[in-house]
Amino acid sequence: MLKKILTVVIILVIAVLSYAASKADTFYVERSIDIKATPEKVFAIINDHHNWDAWSPWEKLDPTMKKTFSGNARGVGAIFEWDGNSQVGAGRSEITESVSPSKIAMKLDMSRPFAANNNVTFNLQPHGETTTVAWGMNGSRPFLGKVISVFFDCEKMVGAQFDEGLVSLKGVAEKVQ
């Protein structure tokens, strides 16, 4: 009986590992929202890490996280580092491209809970009185990431955080000033 159970367990492990190995080596997550504000206004909010506490979904998860700002105040070379609880982890974000008012690109390096190096983009497209903001992230998916994705839908989890952040960004950008 023990031999049969061990055989089944081994077969299941091999099946999970084989399925994980068949997953893509890279990932891409993107969410978008229409905001009733000019691209210039939305761009200014995103392009300055100091503004993120008003709309970032991670601020709600750990309002006491340690934050460090360095480099430029905004735009290319602006750096934001954080160290928070288990829900937000620790990492560094640097703006690598800033094309007003249409695109912001960032290099995102996570050190905790998992080490990861990803690219983040915000693309802003005007449509009459609104601006469509698309928040995307892509990166490589190492084998461990593939195994984790067998059990957890990481795209759905990150996508839900992007959706929450975009709704908050909309609220901030649409406030009358």
- Please report which residue ranges of 80-153 form alpha helices under DSSP H: 143-151
Question: What phi and psi, each to the nearest 5 degrees, are found at residue 56?
Answer: -65, 135
pLDDT of residue 25: 86
pLDDT of residue 98: 98
Mean pLDDT, to the nearest integer, of 93-110? 97
Q: Read off the pLDDT of residues 130-160 as tens digits, 9 standing for 90 and up.
A: 999 999 999 988 777 778 777 877 778 888 9
pLDDT of residue 177: 53
The answer for residues whose C-beta is within 8 angstroms of residue 102's C-beta and 6 or more apart is: 39, 43, 123, 124, 125
pLDDT higher than 60, residue 129: yes
Mean pLDDT, to the nearest integer, of 98-122? 95
CA angle 9, 12, 16 (to 5 degrees): 140
Neighbours of 105 (CB within 10 A): 17
Amino acid identity for residue 46 in this structure: I
Q: What's the predicted TM-score (pTM) here?
A: 0.87
